[in-house]
Structure formats: C-alpha cells, structure tokens
Amino acid sequence: MRRSRFGIVTVTAIALVLGVLVVTQYRAQDVFTRSLTAETASSLTTLIGQISDRNSALRDEILQLRLRLDAAQGASQSSETALRELREQFHQVQVASAFTAVSGAGVEVRIDGPFDDRAMSDLVNEVRNAGAEAVGVNGRRVGPRSWFAHADGGVTIDGQLVLNPYRVQAVGAPDTIRVALTRTGGIVGQLELIYGRTRFIVSTVSVVDLPAAPAADFRVARPAR
C-alpha cells in the first residue's frame, strides 16, 4: 500500500514538473513571437543580417582556431619525432664509443689455445664488420680506440692483461654475425688453419651483458709501433 502511494506521489510530482516546463517554454516562445511581431520589416532584416554576420564570424574564428590547433599538433609531433631521433643517435654514439653499458642478444666466440694480439685484433674487427654493436673480451669492453699487445699467457687490451682462454662476446644480430664468422673462408676458418692446436667455438647467446669501457680508456692513445 505504501509503495502504491509512493508511486502515485512520484507520478504526480513528475507531471507537475513537466507542466511547469511546458508552460514556461510556451510563455518564452510567446514573448519571442510578440517581440518579432513588434519589429518592422526593416529592423527584422537588419537583425537577421547581424545574426548571419555573427554566425559567419564565429565559423571563421572556429576555422582559424582549428587550423592553428592542427599546425601546433603537427609541429609538436615533428619536434617529438626529431627529439626521438636525436636521442637514438646519441645512444648509438655512446654504444659505439663504449661509453655506456649495453645488453642484448649476440654471439660468443670461445678460444682455447695459442692466440696472439694480432689475431685478436683481426677477430674483433671482423666481428664489428659483421654488424656487432658492441664487443668485449673476457668481460672487458673493447672500444673503437682500443689496442692489443702481446703478453705472456695472454694479450693486453688497452694495457690491461687478459688471460687465455678467451671469450669474445658481441651484441648484435646473432645469426648474421655467426654466419659471417663461420662461413667458408671466413675469419674462424682462417684462424683454425693458422692455429691448428687452438679450439674455436662460435655460439649464439640470448643475452650478452657488456660494461662500459673504463674511463681511463677514453684518454689512452695506441702506442706507436
């Protein structure tokens, strides 16, 4: 019973609100109609012309604002694209110069047996030519200015001793680098002929972590021969 009374009250309230809205709208339309009736034909023409002019001005302003917005968005996107490209180039330079650590898929060449500094230099250069982004030997980063020298039991890289056996690691496209190194007549085949007692194993690696080169390496120059 209470729900029935509540429903009747609700419907009545809604009906009253709708009635008030209808009456208000009718009165507003009536007032507007009377004001237009009171206007002369000349004043109505002037009023319509003014409204038309304002509408045209508003459309022009909206168009101008839209053009400015499109231009601003285009400039912003161009700036963001240029900024991304500059950041990518800067990162590539840092990686190539061994100034920053790098991690990624790549290749590892294990060398166990007699091996000298000239052979190490040739192998590292061939790895770079195969597309490696970064190279390291036994966990030590090899930069573009790195130099190799002979040492008892190993080689020196930038004056630091690295002992046999060696692990030459490279970050880059694994399959591309591996094929370049192991192809018929490639660097690994040549080294196997020269160093008959040395074992070479080339394998792809899912993750290679190479540190940045020590700060001192950026100030050292290759010794004269």
The pLDDT of residue 220 is 45
Give yes or no: residues 213 and 115 share one domain.
yes
Counted domains in the chain: 2
Question: Per-residue b/e over 39-72, b at no fewer than 16 CB within 10 Å?
Answer: eeeeeeeeeeeeeeeeeeeeeeeeeeeeeeeeee
Give yes or no: residues 60 and 158 share one domain.
no
In a domain, 225, yes or no: no
Distance between CA atoms of 112 and 167, rounded to whole angstroms? Answer: 9
**What's at 162, amino acid-wise?**
V
Does residue 87 carry a pLDDT above 90? Answer: no
In a domain, 155, yes or no: yes
In a domain, 29, yes or no: yes
Q: What is the mean pLDDT of residues 111-124?
A: 95
85 vs 220, more confident: 85
Give yes or no: residues 129 and 191 share one domain.
yes
The answer, as to whether pTM is greater than 0.75, is no
Give yes or no: residues 111 and 210 share one domain.
yes
Give yes or no: residues 214 and 116 share one domain.
yes
Question: Could you tell me which of 126, 123, 132 has the C-alpha nearest to residue 102?
Answer: 132
Q: What is the mean pLDDT of the chain?
A: 77
Which region among 33-47, 63-77, 172-186, 206-220 has the lowest average model confidence (pLDDT)? 33-47
Range of the domain at 159: 101-218
In a domain, 82, yes or no: no
Does residue 68 carry a pLDDT above 60? Answer: yes
Q: Return the H-helix or E-strand segment holding 161.
A: strand 160-163
Does residue 13 carry a pLDDT above 70? Answer: no
Give yes or no: residues 134 and 36 share one domain.
no
pLDDT tens digits along 138-148: 999 998 888 99
Does residue 77 carry a pLDDT above 50? Answer: yes
In a domain, 161, yes or no: yes
Contacts of 175 (CB under 8 A, 6+ apart): 204
The CA distances from residue 169 to 75, 76, 124, 141, 174, in Å, are 43, 41, 9, 9, 11
In a domain, 166, yes or no: yes
Give yes or no: residues 117 and 185 share one domain.
yes
In a domain, 77, yes or no: no
Does residue 57 carry a pLDDT above 80? Answer: no
CATH of residue 146: 3.30.70.1880
In a domain, 6, yes or no: yes
The pLDDT of residue 163 is 93
Distance between CA atoms of 49 and 56, rounded to whole angstroms? Answer: 10
